[in-house]
């Protein structure tokens, strides 16, 4: 009986696994690789292509907004249309008949929580403000816990008594819990003596207003926001980066919002409110931890106008952990607030009342509030900065089929970075470092933007920024004695998420260098180095956790 011979014919049009350089594989493994290859072509590559173009469009939108805001700010400087010139007010003076009664009643609120390093600075500065003593009340709102030792508390009480002896109307208020965080503390305005006050000035515990602050701000509008001027910008490289970011925020974003729309987000401190505007807007609410922005939005929807004005010297966080916690609150809660306000308008039974309210606000201000203030600056900015520069671009070497427009990774990022530096010309030489630092810092804001929109995880977490005081202790003591606590404190300096992204970028860099002839690997390498430096705790001042 003859044995039949079966000849397997292969289609020459399809490459064999061996021609591709693959080792001999089993039929099952071949099917898996074939499925993965098809998924790559059908799903992954189209998805990455779509993502690239979405990021490119969002980058263009972001650049357009920055150019517009910068143009408005520049025009204000050229035409000298500062707020003080647009809304001139005669200086307040004592009336011959009324005397000091010609001055409105002002209360200065200082909310604080376990801030033993700096409380005496803000209390002293508030009590030294130029204003008739009988028309000024200083209210210390202390939510501090047992962390305040008896010695610190005694010193605080003594300082209050010292100012009382000088004729300052100083009150010290405490609560049994921290319900509502800062918004709950600011409900000190419900006390009986607050009803007599026409204006309220708010300063965080580390803010030191200049003595003429009230003279320059009280005669103006519903809200006057002063600029934060940093007094510790040269402390380390991280504070220089923060200075560049916050100077742009105040000199461009806040000034353009004030000039073009008479609205901006209240920064929560260094501002003066009309008490009537606060009461009409419904007062402070603790539904989010950005109670300042919440109140500002509700007040502007009622037709109140805000102006940006002035200079106030304040310190800024100089530890990476403190800065990151601060960014978490600033980035996460605005998205939560958008949903709550939108649902409140949709579901409220007094919908007609909201319609009447919204008719008081111009279409221009409504557009700015939803498009520029929320969509571009608080969602697109964070997402596109991190996703495009630290995820999409580094991943593309693994998918050479995906084409990326050079203008979206070359011209636009350069222009955006240069615009971010216009507020701090003295730091223009740090533009490259600023670009890398902003990309690293965008990691957490992009994450918490999603958390805020979905209202999950740490959505309502409030971590008070660590205040270092004028003479911070920045070194550990204790010698080389072994202890588990010392080891635990040492490892608090590491940030695993930043390290993980940095390692991933190193892998992408190595693959790009080995298999492609483009020069993307230079940028990816620098970005990976920035993530790793931040991840190992070599940015800012390291303050070990204390008991």
Helices (H), 105-172: 119-127, 150-165
Distance (Å, whole) CA 1 – CA 417: 82
CB-based contacts of 174-178 (< 8 A; 24+ apart in sequence): 174/142, 174/143, 174/144, 175/143, 178/113, 178/143
In angstroms, the CA 7 to CA 129 distance is: 99
286 is catalytic: no
Selection from 267, 453, 495 nearest residue 445 by Cα = 453
Q: Provide Rg for the chain, Cα atoms.
A: 28
Number of neighbouring beta carbons within 10 Å of residue 211: 11
Strands 106-112 and 136-142: parallel
- The secondary structure of 169-182, three-state, reads EEEEEECCCCCCHH
CA distances from 431 to 243, 245, 452 (A): 12, 11, 30
Say which of 143, 204, 206, 247 is annotated catalytic.
143
Whole-Å CA distances, 62 to 334, 413, 471: 18, 10, 40
**DSSP summary character for residue 185:** H
What the block records as the tokens of 95 is 């009336």
What DSSP state is assigned to residue 166?
A: T
Region at 148 (left for phi over 0; alpha for psi -120 to 50; beta for the rest):
beta
Exposure string of 291-307, with b = 16+ CB inside 10 Å and e = fewer, is bbbbbbbbbbbbbbbbb
* DSSP string computed for 481-523: ---HHHHHHHHTT--HHHHHHHHHHHHHHHHHHHH--SSHHHH
Q: What is the SS3 string spanning 221-247?
A: CCEEEEEEEECCCCCCHHHHHHHHHHH
What's the CA dihedral at 256, 269, 275, 89 to 10 degrees?
-50
Stretch (H or E) spanning 388: none
Task: Return left, alpha or beta for 169; rule: phi > 0 is left, psi -120 to 50 is alpha, else beta.
Answer: beta
* Crossing angle (nearest 10°) for helices 320-347 and 443-454: 30
Helix (H, G, I), strand (E, B) or coil at 42: helix
Q: Are strands 169-174 and 223-230 parallel, antiparallel or unpaired?
A: unpaired
List the strands of the sheet with 306-314, edge to edge. 169-174, 136-142, 106-112, 199-202, 271-274, 223-230, 306-314
Cβ atoms of residues 141 and 185 within 8 Å: yes
Q: Tokens 């809660």 sit at which residue?
A: 333
* 143 in catalytic set: yes
Catalytic pick among 142, 204, 247, 292: 292
Active-site residues, by number, are 143, 292
């Amino acid at each position: 009986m003859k044995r039949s011979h079966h000849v397997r014919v292969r289609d020459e049009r399809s490459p064999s696994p061996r021609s591709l350089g693959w080792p001999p594989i089993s039929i099952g493994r071949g099917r898996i690789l074939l499925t993965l290859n098809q998924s790559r072509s059908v799903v992954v590559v189209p998805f990455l292509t779509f993502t690239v173009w979405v990021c490119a469009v969002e980058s263009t939108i972001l650049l357009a907004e920055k150019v517009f805001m910068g143009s408005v700010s520049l025009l204000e400087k050229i035409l000298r249309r500062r707020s003080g010139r647009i809304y001139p007010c005669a200086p307040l003076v004592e009336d011959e008949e009324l005397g000091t009664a010609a001055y409105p009643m002002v209360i200065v609120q200082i909310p604080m929580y376990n801030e033993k390093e700096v409380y005496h600075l803000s209390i002293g500065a508030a009590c030294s403000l130029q204003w008739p003593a009988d028309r000024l009340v200083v209210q210390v709102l202390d939510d501090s816990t047992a962390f305040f030792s008896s010695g610190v508390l005694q010193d605080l009480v003594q300082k209050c008594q010292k100012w009382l002896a000088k004729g300052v109307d100083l009150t010290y208020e405490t609560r049994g819990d921290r319900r509502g965080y800062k918004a709950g503390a600011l409900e000190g305005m419900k006390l009986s003596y607050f009803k007599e006050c026409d204006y309220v000035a708010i300063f965080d515990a580390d803010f030191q207003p200049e003595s003429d602050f009230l003279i320059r701000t009280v005669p103006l509008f519903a809200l006057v926001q002063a600029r934060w001027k940093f007094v510790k910008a040269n402390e380390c490289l991280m504070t220089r980066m923060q200075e560049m970011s916050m100077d742009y925020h105040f000199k461009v974003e806040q000034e353009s919002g004030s000039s073009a729309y008479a609205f901006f987000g209240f920064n929560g401190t260094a501002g003066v409110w009309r008490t009537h505007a606060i009461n009409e807007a419904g007062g402070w609410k603790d539904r989010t931890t950005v109670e300042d922005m919440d109140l500002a939005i509700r007040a502007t929807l009622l037709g109140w106008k805000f102006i940006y004005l002035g200079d106030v010297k304040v310190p800024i966080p100089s530890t990476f952990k403190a800065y990151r916690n601060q960014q978490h609150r600033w980035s996460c809660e605005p998205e939560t607030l958008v949903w709550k306000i939108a649902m409140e308008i949709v579901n409220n039974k007094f919908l007609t009342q909201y319609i009447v309210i919204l008719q008081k606000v111009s279409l221009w201000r409504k557009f700015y509030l939803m498009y520029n203030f929320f969509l571009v600056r608080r969602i697109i900015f964070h997402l596109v900065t991190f996703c495009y520069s630290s995820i999409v671009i580094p991943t593309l070497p693994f998918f050479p089929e995906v084409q990326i427009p050079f203008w979206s990774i070359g011209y636009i990022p350069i222009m955006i970075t240069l615009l971010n530096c216009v507020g701090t010309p003295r730091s223009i030489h740090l533009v490259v470092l600023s670009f890398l630092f902003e990309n690293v810092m965008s990691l957490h804001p992009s994450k918490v933007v999603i958390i805020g929109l979905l209202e999950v995880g740490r959505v309502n977490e409030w971590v008070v920024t660590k205040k270092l005081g004028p003479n911070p202790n920045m070194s550990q003591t204790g010698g080389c004695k072994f202890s588990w606590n010392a080891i635990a404190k040492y490892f608090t300096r590491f940030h695993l998420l930043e390290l993980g992204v940095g390692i991933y970028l190193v892998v992408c860099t190595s693959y790009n260098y080995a298999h492609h002839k483009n020069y993307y690997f230079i940028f990816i390498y620098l970005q990976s180095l920035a993530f790793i430096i931040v991840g190992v705790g070599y940015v800012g001042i390291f303050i070990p956790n204390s008991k």
